[in-house]
Amino acid sequence: MPDLSFSYPAASVGTRVRQLRLALGLTQSDLAAQTGLASGSISMIENGHHEADRGVLQSLAEVLDCDPSFLVSATAGSTDYDRPKLRAYADASQRSVDRTLFDTITAVEMIRTTGLRSLPVKLPVYDGDLNDDDGIDRIAADVRAAAGIDPDAVIPNVIRSAERLGCVVLPLDRELGRHWGMSLTADGIPVIRVARSSHDPDHDIPGDRQRFTVAHELGHLVLHSGSAQPATPSEAARMEREANRFAASFLVPGDVALEDLEKNGGRVTLSTLATLKQKWGYSVKAFVFRFRELGVIDDAQARSLYKQLSARRWNKEEPHRPGTESAVWLSKALREGFAGPDGIKTAAAASGLGERYIGRWLDWSPSGSPSPPAQIIEMPPRQPSAVRSDRVARISRLPQRP
């Protein structure tokens, strides 16, 4: 551990403090209150205008759940990363987006610092015309091949496929506004964040939606690598459409989708689409869009099917709900690199971070607390009237007021 009696570059300390503060979802005022520092001190530290002495470093480290050595690391701010490929996350606060972004950067730093076995990145990068839908279909087929998936095969686990392509996949507690995922590249590592299931029905993610989200984020990594964040809403919408086209082709290749439709009668009905969903883990609603995209149905037929979906309340809960998925690479890499019952504790110490950081990155269990089961209260049996009268007779009388 570095000798904290010496002073360290204020700029590097400030970078670390800001990174972990945002990763934990704290405001500057929150951090000042929890460390007992003056409200303006955190801003001055983060901007490199104030040197943190040993006592201040210790106080900051306690709240930020790290070793003081992490805050004075010479590599602070050295991680190169791109911004997520969205201009704005619908209905999501900047605070929640920053929390996910800087938590992701911290996870990548932990992976690098601890020397975990790295994943070979096999993710192709598209250099063709993004206006060419056939070109997006072709790169989706190339990505399937890179992941070891047969051209006409159902993808059994999309998250594991992303890991085979070299992506680190980490959980989100819940969606970012109306978005269930985020992706970026940090220090050369493609990272996908995706919501895990939840005990709260308002924030639970169906398995088919989770699969599509992972494929959609793969689309951003493949199609928009090196691209700047969109500057306008129309540009953002275009990038979303491109990622959606990739996800559809990656999950259900067009030729195979048409063959399966023909095998099931050739008519696009809700019952047929529900059957296809059972096979592909791809939502009924997404299949309507997919077959409209493939020219099997027109706009009027698509609108009719959407109305039928709404009438059956399938917009809220479709039948044949597949289970959600989880990542395995990080837990395996930690077991290999830090064997033994205290592996996570040892890895955390090696990275300078608290164990809770790593615990969050490994936690794919449903978020939120499950509703406690209703307690059944056994009522005493009714007593005969004579007994009840006897009990009433034995109740002491209150003394009369003078």
Query: What is the full DSSP assignment across 228-282?
Result: PPPSSHHHHHHHHHHHHHHHHHHHS-HHHHHHHHHHTTS---HHHHHHHHHHH--
Residue 390 confidence class, pLDDT cut points 50, 70, 90: very low
Q: List pLDDT tens digits, range 211-221.
A: 999 999 999 99
Residues in the chain: 402
Q: What is the three-class DSSP state of 169?
A: strand
In the prediction, which pLDDT does 88 show? 64
Over residues 189-205, the pLDDT tens digits come to: 999 999 999 999 888 99
d(CA 136, CA 242): 8
Looking from the CA of 31 toward its CB, the CA atoms found within 13 Å total 28
Structure confidence at residue 380 (pLDDT): 46
Report residue 90's pLDDT band, with 50, 70 and 90 as the boundaries.
low
Give the separation between CA 98 and CA 23, rounded to whole angstroms. Answer: 7
Position 78 pLDDT exceeds 90: no
* Residue 222 pLDDT exceeds 70: yes
> Above 60 in pLDDT, residue 378?
no
pLDDT-based confidence at residue 80 (cuts at 50, 70, 90): confident
Q: What is the pTM of this model?
A: 0.88
Tokens of 72: 């004075």
Residue 178 has, within 13 A of its CA and on its CB side, a CA count of: 4
Q: What's the rounded Cα separation, in Å, for the pair 370 and 367? A: 9
Reduce the DSSP state of residue 167 to 3 states and report it.
Answer: coil
Half-sphere exposure for 236 (CA within 13 Å, toward CB):
12
Least confident of 242-246, 287-291, 336-340, 386-390: 386-390
The answer on pLDDT for 388 being more than 60 is no
Going by the DSSP 8-state scheme, the letter that residue 150 receives in this structure is -
User: For residue 397, how far is the Cα from the chain centroid?
Assistant: 66
pLDDT grade, residue 223 (50/70/90)?
Answer: very high
| Mean pLDDT, residues 323-332 | 96
The neighbouring-strand residues paired with 241 are none
Cα(193)–Cα(85) distance, integer angstroms:
13
